Amino acid sequence: MINKIDFKAKNLTSNAGLFLLLENAKSNGIFDFIENDLVFDNDSTNKIKMNHIKTMLCGHFIGIDKLERLKLLQNDPLVNEFDISVKEPETVSRFLG
């Protein structure tokens, strides 16, 4: 777990604000609500919902306006720290459909 962000460190992610966003959502029970109260008819959709919702939340926060730009989040250390596996835009698009 990341306890501190040193803004003078080498290789600092450009999306450092995501840490505060995700920690706030976690501490306010947003992720628990999604996991327990947001239920889809399709079991496979329920298994992937958290990952895609976290991906879209991060994308919206950093100003991504097209699904194709979600690739900007791939391999970001903060995104990885929160166990978010950013999928290809086509996969996210199918989830939204």
- The residue to which tokens 């919702």 are assigned: 53
What pLDDT is recorded for position 33? 93
Q: How far apart are CA 57 and CA 25, in angstroms?
A: 10
Give the domain ranges of the chain: 17-96
Predicted TM-score (pTM) of the model is 0.74
Each residue's pLDDT, cut to its tens digit, for the chain (97 residues) gives: 556 655 565 555 667 778 888 888 999 999 999 999 999 888 888 888 988 899 989 888 888 888 888 888 888 888 888 888 898 888 888 887 7
Cβ neighbours of residue 79 closer than 8 Å, sequence gap 6 or more: 15, 18, 58, 73, 86
